[in-house]
Amino acid sequence: MDANGRIYSKYIDSEAITSLENLITTKSSEIYQLTMIKLGAKLGTILDKKLPKESSCLVASTAEDADYLTQGILNSLKPSHKTMAAVFWNNHYKIPDGESVAPVVHQYLEPGYDEAKSLVVAKSIISGSCVVRTNILFLIEKLKVEKIYIVAPIIHNQSEQLLRKEFPEGISSLFEFIFLAEDSFKDDTGEVKPGIGGQIYKLLGMEDQPARTSFMPKLVRDLVF
């Protein structure tokens, strides 16, 4: 455990610790984006050792993560696996009773996605179950996967338990969580601290949530056009 109460996972190394600290301290969008790609590549390398060689996998993420964290994961997986992408524009907000919801406003599913044997659900930080739950629910009836990897640089220490409770045992038994560090503190707004540096949209070159703007990730543009 470090001075912030952060607990590192078995996958951590000194380079990853530096990258996680950069997310908190940098004010540079360029450094932040490159750091997210690097962390994605680290998580992708871990996944590469777990997935059967030459197996097919679907990497699903939010639109804001697509060009950075997700691209890093894909960079590590593509040399030895057939990879496809699913990108979701989630409109994340709280309803009056305080519960968070994240309906899918738009989605991109790469052709052949439903043939994947493994599902990788990536997010820059998992603070609860809302977004990840929504995106898994969207996909799970369309897939016949053997494993679901839930992947993030940082998770809150209660998020795995919360997410597992959202699904029947037949689905939650497929889950494997892969993360680099775990934080236990949330502020009054529900934001995990130290987390990944707060609201990341501007650091990722966006004005707001992609679901509320016309933002299209380069990853999707390249696949479509």
For the stretch 11-37, pLDDT in tens is: 999 999 999 999 999 999 999 999 999
Task: State yes or no: pLDDT of 2 exceeds 90.
Answer: no
Tokens, residue 89 = 């524009």
Question: Is residue 30 a contact partner of residue 37, using CB atoms and an 8 Å limit?
Answer: no
Domains observed in the chain? 7-224 (3.40.50.2020)
For the stretch 46-100, pLDDT in tens is: 999 999 888 899 999 999 999 999 999 999 999 999 999 999 999 988 777 667 7
Nearest to 148 by CA among 181, 122, 130, 128: 122
Neighbour tally for 103: CB within 10 Å = 13
For the stretch 133-165, pLDDT in tens is: 999 999 999 999 999 999 999 999 999 999 999
3-state secondary structure of 32: helix
Q: How far apart are CA 30 and CA 150, in angstroms?
A: 26
Q: How far apart are CA 59 and CA 85, in angstroms?
A: 5
pTM: 0.95
Give me the numbers of helices (H) and strands (E) for the chain, helices first please: 7, 12
Question: Which pLDDT score is estimated for 97?
Answer: 67
Bond preceding residue 194 cis, omega within 30 of 0: yes
For the stretch 171-200, pLDDT in tens is: 999 999 999 999 999 888 788 999 998 778
Q: How far apart are CA 64 and CA 36, in angstroms?
A: 11
Neighbour tally for 106: CB within 10 Å = 14
Question: Which pLDDT score is estimated for 98?
Answer: 65
